[in-house]
Amino acid sequence: MSRQLAVSLVIVNWNGRHLLEECLPSVVALAYPRERVEHIVVDNASTDDSVQWLAKEWPSVRVLRSEVNLGFAAAANRGAVAGGGEVIAFLNNDLRVEPTWLGHMVEALITSGAAAAGSCVLDWEGRRYDFGGAAMNFAGHAVSRRHGQPYVPVESPPVAALFACGAAMVVDRARFLASGGFDPDYFAYFEDVDLGWRLWVEGARVIYVPSTRAFHRHHGSGMPDAERTRLLERNALASVLKNYDQTNLAVMLPAALTLLGSRAGFAGEERGAVYRAVIEEFEYRRPALEAKRATVQARRRRPDREILPLFLEPFRPSYLGLGYWNEQRRVLRTLGVARVFENDAPGQLAEGMDEFIADLQGRIEILERALSDQERALAAACAAHEEEVARVRREIEQLRTAEASRGSGRERLSRILRGRRRS
């Protein structure tokens, strides 16, 4: 390694003591000079005993406690501001990393001259991709490439990427703070996408490092599905408004809003209400978003024509179903979106959905495995329940037998006593 930069490793936590128990041992075992790494946990008003447990078991970890749940974006920013390292490493609390992870990530950042670098993320067993590269459609909806597909070890060099996955990334601290960090108004979801997009607009670069490995134990955010949908849709629209240049914004934003309305129509009454509420919220927040846009565009150092090829999947649908897919094709042709990307994604609008189909297949296989695991667990639970029921029934029968025996004994004793009294 050419230089061992000082690193502030930031983990955002919310009721995740059980996750930190697996995460922190891998973090302190990193093959990186310990005096060059500080460990920071930003606790988002946990109601479990995370903070007390950290104080007792990990006194070397610096804990920044919030009285309210700030969300990932604002909490991560707080850790970055508090850290003193030249590099900020962000890790989710449900991840573990290989000992060489930090060294390789920092080295890639230095040698590439990039502002941020994202890691390859696998499932907990290391068998399938969780994050295998960055892609995004024109409307700001980002995806992990290769998600759910079998992991193939590679020693490929880092490649340019639109964004680094916030679950496992490193970023130049000075550049991160100068750009404004994660947008705290996002709360959660797509804040890493927005950051990467802004860094490219500002003239910086983001890379994906395929040779590094972090392992993700999915546990869910505990957030209701409707709220998660609201944040994803709301934040995607915010990124669109903030980051496109003026010419492309005039094309992309009307198309994004039109298709969001289409999703509301296809989704049914309950879910459709969520989409319609997002449109209303966007219009209400638009003046504030326009002010943010002005700040981003004032820092622009790179034209959109150099950024759009990084989207990789600009026509990837944000909703499943042939009806929606046909509606999207119509909207993108009518409003001119297809023409903007025709050189970067030839044929994708009509066909060319191989990446999307492969990703869906990977997700289906994950669901099938999860269902199979649940079925086995349910079968085991049922068997255990049946065994317990049988045991209880045996005990009841034994009690009845014992009670009957005691009853017979009492009757014999009563007859003997009556006979003695008569004599």
pLDDT digits (tens, 9 = 90+) for 204-253: 999 999 999 999 987 665 788 999 999 999 999 999 999 999 999 999 99
The residue with greater pLDDT, 344 or 405, is: 405
Lowest mean pLDDT among 212-216, 264-268, 343-347: 343-347
Beta bridge partners of 208: 118, 159
Beta bridge partners of 121: 131, 214
Please, which pLDDT band fits residue 397 given cuts at 50, 70 and 90? confident
Please, which pLDDT band fits residue 418 given cuts at 50, 70 and 90? low
pLDDT at 401: 75
Chain center to CA of 178: 25
Q: How far apart are the first and last CA of the chain?
A: 109
The percentage of the chain sitting over the pLDDT mark of 70, rounded to a whole number, equals 85
Mean of all residue pLDDT scores within the chain: 89
pLDDT at 158: 96
Domains, the chain, ordered by start: 7-216 (3.90.550.10), 225-301+312-352 (no CATH)
pLDDT digits (tens, 9 = 90+) for 360-376: 655 565 665 666 666 66
328: left (phi over 0), alpha (psi -120 to 50) or beta: alpha
Lowest mean pLDDT among 5-9, 76-80, 394-398: 394-398
The residue with greater pLDDT, 396 or 350, is: 396
Please, which pLDDT band fits residue 393 given cuts at 50, 70 and 90? confident
Evaluate if residue 65 carries a pLDDT over 90.
Answer: yes
Alpha-carbon gap, residue 221 to 89, rounded angstroms: 21
Q: Token digits for 197? A: 């997009």
Evaluate if residue 1 carries a pLDDT over 50.
Answer: no
The residue with greater pLDDT, 387 or 371, is: 387
